[in-house]
């Protein structure tokens, strides 16, 4: 009899708490773009994905947890500066609406170590550069592209939020009819600042 291997859809991320300023911006965007076909992300689940893994066996989950424990123990909390709004892939055909962030070498270094660990373990990786951002909405269709351009221009080079992050989380993602549900498998605290 064949053994059934239970797979979990996982990713490694940093949870981003939402400040009053960011909540206000999200509210303004929702109201101003309410006529468009946009699915807004619940602010309670905003995060920066460090690495999307996908289908993961229990053995892989355990290995990743052990390695994340080692990797994160070498880091203190990291301050992130979120600024400007943008879209992927482009303004002609926007699909993802996001908040960007200032380049942060510590975060890039941490993400790089996680990628190397996953690759060394034999977990297939996409070969694309790390582009940290907060996905705030998925755009199905937009009629008034000028409204979107207005917001992108208004927030060009403007700081939206500064956040100190103190942990990395290994998540399981479950897709539901109401959108994804994220459950923490394990949290890995970064060392407190000295």
Catalytic: which of 9, 40, 43, 47? 47
Average pLDDT value for the chain = 93
Give percent above pLDDT 70 in the chain.
96
pTM > 0.85: yes or no? yes
* Residue 149 pLDDT exceeds 50: yes
Neighbour tally for 1: CB within 10 Å: 3
**Strands 78-88 and 96-101, bridge-based pairing:** antiparallel
Catalytic: which of 13, 133, 134, 163? 133
- Whether 81 is catalytic is no
Residue 153's pLDDT is 97
* Residue 168 pLDDT exceeds 50: yes
Lowest mean pLDDT among 2-11, 68-77, 115-124, 147-156: 2-11
Neighbour tally for 82: CB within 10 Å: 24
* Residue 16 pLDDT exceeds 50: yes
Residue 174's pLDDT is 92
**Band of pLDDT at residue 22, cut at 50, 70 and 90:** very high
Residue 24's pLDDT is 96
One-character DSSP codes across 158-176? -EEEEEEE-EEEEEEEEEE
* Residue 178 pLDDT exceeds 90: no
* Residue 2 pLDDT exceeds 80: no
Q: 7-187 in CATH: which number?
A: 3.90.1140.10
Which phi and psi (to 5°) does residue 158 adopt? Answer: -105, 125
**Band of pLDDT at residue 194, cut at 50, 70 and 90:** very low
* Residue 79 pLDDT exceeds 60: yes
Give percent above pLDDT 90 in the chain.
87
- Whether 133 is catalytic is yes
Residue 145's pLDDT is 95
**Band of pLDDT at residue 3, cut at 50, 70 and 90:** low
* Residue 146 pLDDT exceeds 90: yes
Quote the CA–CA distance of 168 and 50 in Å, as a whole number. 9
* Mean pLDDT of all residues in 144-166: 95
């Amino acid at each position: 009899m064949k053994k059934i291997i239970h797979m979990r859809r996982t990713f490694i991320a940093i949870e981003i708490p939402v400040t009053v300023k960011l909540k206000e911006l999200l509210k303004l965007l929702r109201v101003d773009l309410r006529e468009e076909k946009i699915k807004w992300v619940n602010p309670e689940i905003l995060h920066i994905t460090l690495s999307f893994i996908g289908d993961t066996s229990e053995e892989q989950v355990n290995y990743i947890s052990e390695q994340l424990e080692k990797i994160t123990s070498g880091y203190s909390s990291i301050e992130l500066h979120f600024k400007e709004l943008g879209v992927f892939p482009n303004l002609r055909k926007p699909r993802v609406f996001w908040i960007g962030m200032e380049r942060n070498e510590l975060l890039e270094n941490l993400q790089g170590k996680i990628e190397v660990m996953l690759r060394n373990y034999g977990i297939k990786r996409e070969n694309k550069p790390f582009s940290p951002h907060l996905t705030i909405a998925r755009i199905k269709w937009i009629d008034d592209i000028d409204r979107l351009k207005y917001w992108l221009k208004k927030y060009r080079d403007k700081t939206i939020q500064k956040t100190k992050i103190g942990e990395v989380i290994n998540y399981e993602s479950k897709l539901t009819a109401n959108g994804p549900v994220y459950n923490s498998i394990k949290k890995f605290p970064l060392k407190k600042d000295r």
